[in-house]
Amino acid sequence: MLKTRVITAVVALLVMLSVFLLGNAHTMRMFFTLLVGIGTFEISGMIFPRIYTLFSANHEATPPRLLQPLVIGMSCVLFAASAYTQGYGVSVMMLGLLGSLLFGIFIAPEIDLSFGAGAGILVCLVYGAFPWLAIWELYKLAPDSRYIFLMCTIVWCGDTGAYFAGRSLGKHKLAPRMSPNKTWEGSIGGIIASVVGAAVFKSFYPEQMVDWPIILICAVLGGALGQLGDLAESTFKRFSGVKDSGKIFPGHGGFLDRVDGLLFAAPAIWFILYQFGI
């Protein structure tokens, strides 16, 4: 199992570095669209079976076969239309969300199920597509994908710090309803690790990145929201009754299991950099 985890991690890291460092804007759009599709595939595959079981009158309904492919397509179109166009992205998102809500309402044969399907589609689109628009904006802020790598450093250092701080010091539960193993001590340790990681990363670009105060704000807020993203995905998995979001990464679980923190940290970091840093 350990060997499989290491091989998977190395391959995924090499692919990510190759795309982020060598790819052009068109390549990045296509790569992000692919990731949007994978993420939407996983979140829709988790929640729709549970929604149809929970909201149907006999608690035995199953999602229509075309529902998941259509939602994946909607999510990819929302992202691609916003990333490839400058002036029409907001309009496309508004029409796409409203249209998707109507689609969910009318596709289900029962009133309760209509509400559940509509809500489920909105969750899939917001969770599957919108964070990647923030990551795309981070990519455009500077060469070499440096702000994407800053975000990854903040979140992944925070994950590591929270794990070790929680194991050694953890006593007070953070959110037992969502994730019983997470503690306040681990959370604080994770934010400290995010700050340290961001500081080390900034030292490699002393003049090419935003000033230290902005970096530290990104680290604290991005680290905190990265942890909340982990808790949000844990909630989705508990609602759906699954252990992992998928099986795309042997030994690691699903795609969303690996990027859940990034999806919440990215909009916050992009907002801070856009408003105050760049």
pLDDT of residue 161: 95
| Better-scored residue on pLDDT, 146 or 109 | 146
Which of the two residues, 93 and 130, has the higher pLDDT score?
130
Q: Which amino acid is at 247?
A: K
pLDDT tens for residues 233-247?
Answer: 999 999 999 998 988
12 lies in the same domain as 83: yes
Q: Report yes or no: 41 and 254 within 8 Å, Cβ to Cβ.
A: no
Per-residue pLDDT tens for 53-85?
999 888 888 998 889 999 999 999 999 988 887
Strands 173-175 and 179-183: antiparallel
Nearest CA among 225, 232, 231 for reference residue 272 = 225
Instruction: Give the pLDDT band of residue 16 (cuts 50, 70, 90).
Output: confident
Based on the domain organization, do 106 and 170 belong to the same domain? Answer: no
* Spatial CA neighbour of 139 closest among 35, 226, 253: 35
Q: Are residues 121 and 1 in the same domain?
A: yes
Quote the pLDDT of residue 84. 83
Buried (b) or exposed (e) across 60-80, using 16+ Cβ within 10 A? ebebeeebbebbbebbbbbbb
Same domain for 94 and 113, yes or no, is yes
> How many percent of the chain have pLDDT more than 70?
94
Place 267 in a pLDDT band, splitting at 50, 70 and 90: very high
Question: Which of 111, 141, 171 delimits the end of a domain?
Answer: 141
Query: What pLDDT score was predicted for residue 184?
Result: 93
Q: Is the pLDDT of residue 259 over 80?
A: yes
Query: Do 147 and 134 share a domain, yes or no?
Result: no
For residue 202, pLDDT over 90 is answered with: yes
Contact predicate 266/138, CB 8 Å: yes
Out of 141, 167, 199, a domain closes at: 141
Compute CA distances 30 → 34, 35, 103, 186, 250, whole Å: 6, 9, 26, 37, 24
Residue range of the domain that includes 242? 143-278
What pLDDT does 89 receive? 63
What is the predicted pLDDT for the residue at 134?
94
Residue 128 and residue 92 share a domain: yes
Assess whether 156 and 232 both reside in one domain. yes
- Bridge partners for 179 per DSSP: 175
| Same domain assignment for residues 201 and 89 | no
pLDDT at residue 214 in the model:
95
Query: Domain boundary at 141, 169, 202, which?
Result: 141
State the average pLDDT over residues 176-182. Answer: 86
pLDDT reported for residue 4: 67
Indicate whether 250 pLDDT > 80: no
Q: Do residue 102 and residue 164 come from a single domain?
A: no
Number of helices (H) and strands (E) in the chain: give both, helices first. 9, 2
Q: Does 240 share its domain with 258?
A: yes
Q: Which of 180, 252, 271, 262 is nearest to 229 (CA)?
A: 262
Contact 247, 254 (CB under 8 A): yes
Q: How many CB atoms lie within 10 A of CB 12?
A: 15
CA dist 99 and 168 (Å) reads: 49
Token pair of 39 as six digits: 């993420």
Kindly state whether residues 173 and 231 are assigned to the same domain: yes
- The least confident of 28-42, 81-95, 196-210 is 81-95
Based on the number of CB atoms within 10 Å of its own CB, is 273 exposed (0-12), middle (13-18) or buried (19 or more)? buried
pLDDT, mean over the chain: 89
Instruction: Report which of residues 83 and 249 the model is more confident about.
Output: 83
Torsion angle, CA of 199/138/29/11, rounded to 10 degrees? 10
Same domain, 156 and 68: no
Bigger pLDDT: 40 vs 66:
40
Count of domains forming the chain: 2
